[in-house]
Amino acid sequence: MIVAYHNVDRSESLNSFVEDKMNHLAAFKERVTNVKWMITKERGAYKSVIQFQAYGKFFNIEGKAGNVYASVLKVHRKVKNSFSKRIKFKQRLHTRKTLSYLEES
């Protein structure tokens, strides 16, 4: 996991906050590679962006807020919601393929 900062002061508390949020996503960490965080300040708002690769596709999720920690938390929630839906969708597709395969036999 790489964390990059642009126009934002680096701090140990922010690094530990980002790592703590990543540790909450255990299922996320098992299926994901190339995780990159970018935290920037644009026009008075803080923007957090996470880029990662999962299931052969690249994802780019971002969130803006007035506080650095709030922007990281917003991105964390988006990743948590979208990734769980993606896993359920893939499981559902796998189930359909298995059932159609059994019907053909």
Residue 26 is part of a domain; what is its CATH number? 3.30.160.100
What's the rounded Cα separation, in Å, for the pair 12 and 51?
A: 22
Parallel, antiparallel or unpaired: strands 57-65 and 2-6: unpaired
pLDDT, tens digit, for every residue of 28-83? 666 778 888 899 998 889 999 998 887 777 888 899 998 998 998 998 888 888 76
Sign of CA dihedral 68, 69, 73, 79: positive
Predicted pLDDT of residue 48: 92
Model-level pTM? 0.70
Q: Is the pLDDT of residue 97 over 60?
A: no
- Domain extent, residue 80, equals 2-104
How many structural domains does the chain have? 1
